[in-house]
Amino acid sequence: MDRYFSKFAIALLLCLVFVAVGCSTKKTDVDPAAQEQEQVEQTEQETADQEAKAKAEAEEERLKAEELARQKKEAQQKKEAKAQFENKKIYFSFDSSELSEEARQTLENKAEWMRSNPDSEISVEGHCDERGTAEYNLALGERRAESAKKYLNALGIESDRIDTISYGEEKPAVEGSGEEVWSQNRRAEFNIISE
Amino acid sequence: MKQKRKFPKFIFNIFLFTFSVMILTAVRPCFADDFDNLKFIDINNPFINKTPIAIPQFTSVENNSELKKIITEGTSYLRYLFKFTSYFEIIEEDFAPEGITGSEIDFEKRKKNSELLVTSALYYNNGILEMELRLFDILKKDLITGKRYKGKKEDLKKMLRRFASEVMEELFGNKGLFESRLAFVSDSSGEKEIYSSDFDGSNISKLTSDKSIAISPSWSYDNNWIAYTSYKRGIPEIYVKSLKGGKGYIISQGRLNITPEWLPGKFALAAVMSINKDPDIFILTGKGEMLKTAAKGWGIDVSPSFSPDGAKMAFVSGRRGSPQIYIKNFDTNKIQRLTFEGNYNTSPAWSPSGDYISYVGMTKEDGINIYLIRPDGTGLRQLTTGPGDNEEPSWSPDGSLIAFTSTRSGKKKIYMMTRFGNDQRILISNMAGNQSDPAWSR
C-alpha cells in the first residue's frame, strides 16, 4: 500500500513539473529549445563567475587576514624584542664593573637588536647597591655603564648611539638590605632613546 | 680720581659707625694682670675628660623685668653653647656668684667642683644691652679672657656666641665653631635637595629646588660659594652657587661631573669627571675652566680632600683593585697609599689643622664605620661602631667636632661627635625623611 502511494506521488510530482515547464515556455515566441539552452548556459556562466569571484574574494580575505596576522605577529615580536631589550638588565658583583658570561650573552642580544634597528639610540644606566660611599658609587656606576658600552662597541655598535649615565646608589631597583636585595641593585639598565 | 677715592672712605666711615654703635663692640676690660697664653684644653688628647665649667646665673646691679628675661635667656644660651662643644661639663648655679672680678672670687672653695668659671655683669638701658663677661682659670686663680659687648637686646645671642668663640680661641686656638654653618642633603621634600643650617642644626633653609637629585655640597674657604652635584638637566653636573646672590656656574664636561671640593683659599675646585676612559680628578676654576689633572689612573679616582695648605690631596682610588685612600703631593707629584687595613676605604676628610684624616672603612665584621689616621699613616683609630652604617665625615672649622651620617636609628640622620669619637649625638633631629652628606662650613 505504501509502495503504491509513493509511486503515485512521484508520478504526480513529475506531471506537475512538466505542466510548470510547459506553462513557462508557452509565454515566449522564440525557439524555446535554443533559449532554454542559452539560459542554462548563461546561468551556468553566472554561477561560475560568482563562484570564482567569491573564491577570489575569500582568497583575498584569507591573504589579508594572514598578512594582518603576520604583521600583528611581527609587531608583537618587535614589541617583545623591544621590551626584552629594555627590561633585561645585567648584573655585577660587589665593587666590580666586570661583565659576567651571562651579562655578555645579554649584551650580544642587545647588539643584535640594535643591528636590526639601525636608527636606534640607547642610554645605559649604571647602578650600585647601598653599601659603600655614595660618591664612590657614583664613579662605580659610571664604570658599569661604560663597560656595557665598551662591549656593545666591540660587537660593532657605534659609540655615538650609546649614552651612559651613572646613578650610583641613588635609584635602587629594590628597596631594603641584604644580599638578595643588593644583588638586584648592582646593575646596568638599558633605555631606548630613539628608534 | 679724587672723587673716586672719596667713595670708599665714606663707606668705610659708615661701616665704622655701624660697628661702634650697633654691633658688639668687644673691648678687653682694663685688668692689670695678663695671663699666660697657654692652651687650656688639648683637643689632641683623645683621653680628655670634659672640663668642668661653672656658669652661674648672669648678674646685674640693675633690676627690671626686661633685664630679668635677658638674664634667664642669656644664661641658658651660654650654657647651651658650651655644652654643645662636647668638651665641657656645665656646672649650673642658679644664683649669682660671690663676685664678678678676680679679687671677689673664692677660688679655693670653687676648686672642689670646677676648673673654669664665667662671671658676668649686665646693663640695660633704652633697648641697649651692655654685657661684661669674664672667664677664670680657677686652679691658677687667673683671668683667661674678659670681654665687654654693647648692642641691641636682640643681639643677645650674637654677643654670647661671640664670647663663646673668644673662649674657644683661648682654649682651643680656634674660634670658628659658633659662627659656622652646615650644608647637607635631605629628601624630606620627596627629592634630594641641599639645605643649610646654623652650626647646631637650627635655622634650616633650603638651598636648591632642582626636583631631581642634588648631592655632595662643598663650601668654598671664604664660605661665599657652595658647589654641589645635581641631575637637574638629566646627567650629574656640578653647580657652583653664590651664597651672596650673585651669578652661578655649571661645570659639565662629559657624562659624569661629581664630588666637587674647593681648594683652600682659591676660587678653584677639584672635581671628578669621566673625560678619559674612567673617572679621574681634575682641578678647575670656579667657573669651570680646566686647570690641570690632579689624579688619573686605571680605574676610579674620586673624593678629593685637600691639606690646609693645598699642597697635598687625599683621594680614593681603585688603581690597585679595591678602593683605598692615597695622598698626592703636588710639589713632588708623587702619590702614596695611606690606608692598608681592610678592602674598602673611602671618603677622606682632611682636618682643618692638617693633623688627621678621617675616612670611611667597610669590613665584613664591623660594617661601615668612620676611622681616623694621621697623614703619615700612623695613629689609626676607629671612631664609630654599629648599629647601622656610619659614614661621610666632615670636620667642624675648628677641628674639634666631626659631623657624619648614621643609620643607627633606622633612617639616615646627621650626627656629630668629638674628633676622637666621644659624645656621639644627633645634630639634625627636627626634619622628616633622610638627611645625609653633611658639609661643615670653613
| Contact present, A65 and A160 (Cβ < 8 Å) | no
Among chain B residues, the shortest Cα distance to A136 is held by B302
CB contact under 8 A, B316 and A170: no
**B182 class by beta-carbon count within 10 Å (0-12 exposed, 13-18 middle, 19+ buried):** buried
Q: Provide long-range contacts, Cβ within 8 A and 24+ apart, for A158-164.
A: A161/A114, A161/A120, A161/A121, A161/A122, A162/A121, A162/A122, A162/A123, A162/A124, A163/A121, A163/A122, A163/A123, A163/A124, A163/A193, A163/B255, A164/A123, A164/A124, A164/A125, A164/A126, A164/B255
> Do A166 and B236 make contact, defined as CB atoms within 8 angstroms?
yes
Give CA–CA dist A126/B44, Å, rounded: 42
Q: How far is CA B180 from CA A133, B172, B221, B268, in A?
A: 25, 16, 12, 21
Q: Which residues of A touch B360 (CB under 8 A)?
A: 133
Instruction: Please check whether residue B359 is in contact with residue B345, taking contact to mean a CB–CB distance below 8 angstroms.
Output: yes
Q: Is residue A63 assigned to a domain?
A: no
d(CA A159, CA A172): 27
Identify whether A81 is part of a domain.
yes
The continuous run of DSSP H or E covering B53 comes out as strand B51-56
Least confident of B1-15, B157-171, B237-251: B1-15
Query: Which pLDDT score, from 0 to 100, does residue B171 have?
Result: 86
> Could you give the CA distance from residue B321 to residue B319 in angstroms, rounded to a whole number?
6
A55 inside domain: no
Optimal mutation site among B187, B255, B317, interface A, most CBs of chain A within 10 A: B255
Is B347 at the interface with chain A, CB within 8 A? yes
Note whether B368 contacts A: Cβ–Cβ < 8 A: yes
pLDDT at B175: 80
Q: Which tens digits make up the pLDDT trace of A6-46?
A: 665 565 555 455 545 544 444 446 666 777 777 777 777 88
The string of pLDDT tens digits covering residues B368-388 is: 999 999 999 999 999 999 889
Q: Which residues of A touch B277 (CB under 8 A)?
A: 146
Contacts of B194 in chain A (CB under 8 A): none
Instruction: Find the closest chain A residue to B298 by CA distance.
Output: A143
Interface of B with A in 262-321 (CB under 8 A): 272, 274, 277-279, 299-303, 316, 318
Q: CB–CB of A138 and B256 under 8 A?
A: yes
Query: What is the β-pairing status of strands B205-206 and B193-198?
Result: antiparallel
Chain-centroid distance, C-alpha B265: 16
Are B259 and B272 in contact by the 8 Å Cβ rule? The answer is: yes
Residue B7 scores a pLDDT above 50: no
pLDDT at A25 (0 to 100): 47
Residue A146 lies in a domain: yes
- CATH 2.120.10.30 in chain B, residues? 180-440
Query: What CATH number is attached to the domain comprising A183?
Result: 3.30.1330.60
A–B: how many Cβ contacts below 8 A?
A: 81
Q: State residue B26's pLDDT score.
A: 44
Closest by CA to A145, choosing from A85, A96, A97, A86, is: A97
CATH superfamily of B180-440: TolB, C-terminal domain (2.120.10.30)
The matching CATH number, chosen from 3.90.420.10, 3.90.550.10, 3.40.50.10070, 1.10.600.10, for B24-172 is 3.40.50.10070
Residue spans in chain B of domains classed CATH 3.40.50.10070: 24-172
Nearest Cα to Cα of residue B236 among B276, B296, B279 = B279
- For cell 644606566, the residue is A125
How far is residue A137's CA from residue A139's CA, in Å, rounded to a whole number? 5
E strands of B343-400, at which residues?
345-350, 357-363, 367-373, 381-382, 390-395
The boundaries of the domain holding residue A104 are 76-194
User: What confidence tier does B22 reach under pLDDT thresholds 50, 70, 90?
Assistant: very low
Q: Quickly state the pLDDT bin for B35 (edges 50, 70, 90).
A: very low
Closest to B396 (Cα-Cα) out of B431, B340, B339, B356: B356
Q: Would you call B302 and A136 a contact, using CB atoms and an 8 Å cutoff?
A: yes
Picking from B277, B303, B344, the nearest residue to A135 by CB comes out as B303
Q: B335 - beta bridge partners?
A: B328
Average pLDDT for consecutive 10-residue bins of chain A (195 residues)?
57 53 51 71 81 89 90 89 92 96 97 95 97 94 96 96 96 93 97 92
**B373 bridge partner residues:** B357
Whether the predicted pLDDT of B217 surpasses 60 = yes
Q: Where are the beta strands (DSSP E) in A38-154?
A: 90-91, 121-127
Which residues have CB under 8 Å from B161's CB, separation 6+?
Answer: B81, B178, B179
Is any Cβ of chain A less than 8 angstroms from the Cβ of B369?
no
Q: Which residues of B touch A134 (CB under 8 A)?
A: 215-216, 392, 436-437
A48 or B412: which carries more pLDDT confidence? Answer: B412
Residue pLDDT, tens place only, B259-302: 999 999 999 999 999 988 789 999 999 999 999 999 998 889 99
The Cα diameter of chain A in Å comes to 110
Partner residue opposite B216 with nearest CB, options A95, A135, A146 = A135
Element (DSSP H or E) covering residue A32: helix A32-87
Of A133, A135, A163, the CB nearest to B255: A163
Which residues make Cβ contacts (< 8 Å) with residue B327, sequence separation at least 6?
Answer: B312, B313, B314, B315, B335, B336, B338, B375
CA angle B252, B255, B260 (to 5 degrees): 50
Identity of the residue in B229, B256, B322 whose CB atom sits nearest the CB atom of A142: B256
What is the model's pLDDT at position B27?
A: 41
Q: A25 lies in a domain?
A: no
CB atoms closer than 10 angstroms to residue A103: 20
Chain B residues in contact with A132 by the CB 8 A cut-off are 323, 344, 346, 362, 368
Average pLDDT over residues B35-62: 73
Q: Is the peptide bond before B97 cis (omega within 30 degrees of 0)?
A: no
Looking at beta carbons, which residues of chain B come within 8 Å of A95? 318, 322-323, 344
Instruction: Give the integer Cα–Cα distance in Å for A17 and A10.
Output: 11
Mean pLDDT lowest among A110-124, A131-145, B167-181, B201-215: B167-181
Give the pLDDT score at B46.
64
**DSSP character string of B225-267:** EEEEEE-TTSS-EEEEEETTS---EEE--SS-EEEEEEPTTSS
Chain A's closest residue to B361, CA to CA, is: A132
Q: Are strands A90-91 and B301-306 parallel, antiparallel or unpaired?
A: unpaired
Would you call A135 and B192 a contact, using CB atoms and an 8 Å cutoff? no
Rounded to 5 degrees, φ, ψ at A118 are -65, -15
Chain B residue with Cα closest to A125: B235
Q: What is the pLDDT of residue B44?
A: 67
The predicted pLDDT at position A39 comes to 74
B 205-264 → A contacts, CB under 8 A: 213, 215-216, 229, 234-236, 255-256, 258-259
| Spatial separation of the C-alpha atoms in residues A168 and A144, rounded to whole Å | 10
Question: Residue B328 — φ and ψ, nearest 5°?
Answer: -100, 130
List phi, psi (to 5°) of A40: -60, -45
Q: Kindly state whether residue A113 falls inside one of the protein's structural domains.
A: yes
Chain B partners of A129 at a C-beta cutoff of 8 Å? none
Residues of A with CB under 8 A from a CB of B: 95, 131-136, 138-140, 142-143, 146, 163-167, 170
Nearby residues of A12 by Cβ (< 8 Å), 6 or more positions away: none
Each residue's pLDDT tens digit, B80-98? 999 999 999 999 988 888 8
Residue of B274, B298, B368 to mutate, interface with A, max A Cβ within 10 Å: B274
The answer to whether the beta carbons of residues B225 and B245 sit under 8 Å apart is: no
User: So what's the pLDDT on residue A190?
Assistant: 97
Pick among B302, B345, B368 to test the A interface (most A CBs inside 10 A): B302
B304 pLDDT above the threshold of 50? yes
Structural domains of chain A, count? 1
If residue B216 lies in a helix (H) or strand (E), which one and from where to where? Answer: strand B214-219
B392 touches chain A (CB under 8 A): yes
Q: Do B344 and A138 touch (CB under 8 A)?
A: no
- A139 contacts in chain B (CB < 8 Å): 256, 258, 272, 278-279, 300-302
Eight-class DSSP state of B388? S
